[in-house]
Amino acid sequence: MKQASVYQSIKLSKKSSSKIEDNLVIEAPLQININKEAYTVVMRTPGNDVELVRGLLYAEDIYKKEENLNISFIENNDDFSAVLNVDISKESLGKGYLNKRTLLSVSSCGICGKKELGDLKTNGNSLKNNIKESVNISIDMFLKMSDLQFLFKKTGGSHACAVFNSKKELLTIKEDIGRHNAVDKCVGDLLNNNKLKNANYMLVSGRVSYEIVSKAFLAKIPIIIAVSACSSLAVDFAKEFGICLIGFSRDEKMTIYSNPQYINYER
């Protein structure tokens, strides 16, 4: 099963820029049906889907028995999305099924828990940004974010999101055990203080998945800069949404995965 895809990107350093082909981990939705009714959607890397579903149903107290389940693919699409159906008798359904979904992964994946693949669609016109930034766009901003990550300094176990305006002035920074929660906290803070319209850069301490790109798009924040990697679906949607997505921003280096026209990277 294919678990990574090659994407063209632009790798920047302090003195040079070059076009490269980069392997990104595939992120794609898996819809889980129970007795032919949509139950939930989880984001995953393709492969071992049956094992994923079996373990998830066990952890969620939906099916605790050790007997094998009848798990079958209904869809297995070219974009790596898939739909599985699980047949479970009413007598064998655990108490977790009555909760109609409280997946354990909610702190790390905000999209998990949608009922059907179609629920992932986000409507709206793509963003536009004519600002041309220099190659060192993120260095000072990441230093500011790092200085204010008090929970991480204390525990080493939290993620951070920071949002800056077009002048690279800090608007808000929030920490949370979940990457998506930190993003939501920042957007909520900006909404409460009527500053969301000033947001231009979103910095995140970890990797970027589809959900973070979607949240930035809904908040109309055109540039996302991450310390770590970006998933395949994050790049696909960033291209569609008009978002400049930058990953591996560290040690005066970064990789641009989408909409490089926002950045003045020529040498």
Q: What count of Cα atoms within 13 Å lies in the side-chain half-sphere of residue 94?
A: 12
Cβ neighbours, 10 Å, residue 128: 10
Q: What count of Cα atoms within 13 Å lies in the side-chain half-sphere of residue 3?
A: 7
Cβ neighbours, 10 Å, residue 193: 11
Residues marked active site are found at 109
> Residue 138 and residue 249: Cα distance in Å, rounded?
7
> Residue 118 and residue 61: Cα distance in Å, rounded?
26
> Residue 109 and residue 124: Cα distance in Å, rounded?
22
Strand 244-250 relative to strand 223-226, pairing: parallel
The alpha-helical segments, DSSP class H, found in 135-209 are: 139-147, 150-155, 179-192
Task: Report the amino acid identity of residue 152.
Answer: F
Token code pair at residue 237: 């949607």
250 is in an annotated binding site: yes
Cα 235 to Cα 26, 158, 159, 161: the distances in Å are: 10, 24, 21, 19
167 is in an annotated binding site: no
> Residue 186 and residue 192: Cα distance in Å, rounded?
10
128 is in an annotated binding site: no
> Residue 155 and residue 147: Cα distance in Å, rounded?
14
Residues making up the binding site:
248-253
